[in-house]
Structure 1
Amino acid sequence: MAEDNVSATLTVAVPAARVFAVLADPTAHAAIDGTGWVQKPVDRAPLTEVGQIFRMDMYHPNHPDGDYQVANKVQVLDPPRAIGWLTGYDPKGDGHLEFGGWLWRYDLAPLGPSETEITLTYDWSAVPQSIREYIQFPPFGPEHLPNSLHHLAELVSGG
C-alpha cells in the first residue's frame, strides 16, 4: 500500500453538531466500530479537550491476551467539525502511556442545516518501523471504514 492512511466518506441527513456529539461520547464507540473489537468504555465522560485520555476495553482474537485495554488520547477537537484520537496503551500497568502512532479522525462538513458529510480517516503514517514489524497496517479490511460510517449513520439518525 503506497499511502499510510485510508479513509471513507458518507453523507447523513443529520446536523453536524449531532454527529459530533455522538462521536464525542465514548459509550457510542462500540456500536460505531461494529467489529466487536471495541467492547466498552472504561472512561465514559464525553470528549471535551485535546489531551484528554479515554480508555476502552477491547477484544481481538489475534491479540496475545484476547481481551486488552487501549488508552486513547484526544488529538483533534474542533466542534462540530473534527474529532480524532491516537491509540495507545499502558505497557507496564504503571500509568505511563505509549502511543503507536496511529490516529482515528472524523471530519464533518455541514452541507446545510440538516446534512453532514462525514469523512473517517485511519492514519498510520507516524507508526515507527519497530511496530510495523509486528502489526500489519491497516489492521482491518477495506470494508471496515465504510461499515463503521454506516453504523454511525444509524446511531445519529436514531435508527
Structure 2
Amino acid sequence: MAHDERIVSETAPIAAPPEVVFAILADPRQHERIDGSGSVKGNITGPDVLSRGATFGVDMKMFGLPYKIRNRVVEFEQDRRIAWRHFGAHRWRYEITPTATGCEVTETWDASRYARPAWLVLKTAGFPDRNRKGIAGTLVRLREAAENDA
C-alpha cells in the first residue's frame, strides 16, 4: 500500500489498562491535560463522557489566534477506539490495543478525505508536520496521565 502523506500516525506503549486510557480520551475535559500540541485551551462544553454522535466544544489557539471548535464523535468502540472530527474532513483517531503490560495506543490524524485543493491549503499551513509533533507530545502526556491514574 502506498504511503499517504495526508495520514500521520504514531504508536506508544502505555503501562495502564485500556479502560483507563479510554476513560481519559472519552472525557473531553481531560483533552487539555493530554494535548501535546499546545492548541487545546480548555473551556470544554459537552457531555462528561463521549459516545458515538456526541458533540463537544473546545477553546483552541493556533498560529497565535484563539478560536472555538465543535467536534462530533464519528467512531466509537468502548475501550478500543474513538475518533472525532469538526467541520473539516479530517479525523483525530485513537486506537487502543491490549498488551501483556497494559496497552498500545495509536493516535492518527487522518486528512485522507480532503480533496486535493483543500489538502494543498492545509499543507501550505504546515500540516501534517505540525500534527506529527503534536501527536508525539500527546502520546507522552497520555502515557503519563494514564499511568498516574491506573
Could you tell me the TM-score, scaled by structure 2's length? 0.86
The equivalent position to 2:55 in structure 1, one of 42, 53, 56, is 53
Counterpart code for 1:148: T
Question: 2 CA distance for matches of 1:103 and 1:142?
Answer: 14
Query: What does residue 126 of structure 1 align with?
Result: 113
Q: Which runs of 5+ in 2 are unaligned?
A: none
Contact 1:57 1:68 in 2 (8 A): yes
- 1:138 has 2:131 as partner: no
Question: 2 CA distance for matches of 1:41 and 1:156?
Answer: 22
Q: CA deviation at 1:33?
A: 1.3
- SS of 1:71's equivalent? strand
- 1:103 has 2:105 as partner: no
Please give the residue correspondences for 1:44-83 in structure 2 after superposition, counting only pairs within 5 Å. Answer: 44-61=46-63, 66-83=65-82
Between 1 and 2, higher relative CO (CA 8 Å, sep ≥ 6) is seen in 2
- 1:5 has 2:36 as partner: no
Question: 2 CA distance for matches of 1:68 and 1:15?
Answer: 34
TM-superposition CA deviations, 1:44-84 (whole Å, max 9, x none):
5234321111110001125xxx1101111101110100011
Aligned pair in 2 of structure 1 residues 41, 26: CA closer, same or farther (>3 Å)?
A: farther
Question: 2 CA distance for matches of 1:13 and 1:28?
Answer: 19
Q: CA deviation at 1:28?
A: 1.1
Question: 2 CA distance for matches of 1:82 and 1:19?
Answer: 11
Runs ≥4 residues deviating over 3 A: none
The equivalent position to 2:31 in structure 1, one of 14, 29, 38, is 29
User: Aligned residues: percent identity?
Assistant: 31
- SS of 2:140's equivalent? helix
Counterpart code for 2:102: E
- SS of 2:86's equivalent? strand
Counterpart code for 2:99: L
How many residue pairs get aligned? The number is: 144
Query: What does residue 43 of structure 1 align with?
Result: 45
Please report the RMSD computed on the Cα atoms of aligned residues, expressed in angstroms. Answer: 2.0
Counterpart code for 2:70: A
Structure 1 or 2: larger helix share?
A: 2
The equivalent position to 1:117 in structure 2, one of 104, 109, 117, is 104
Query: What does residue 84 of structure 2 align with?
Result: 85
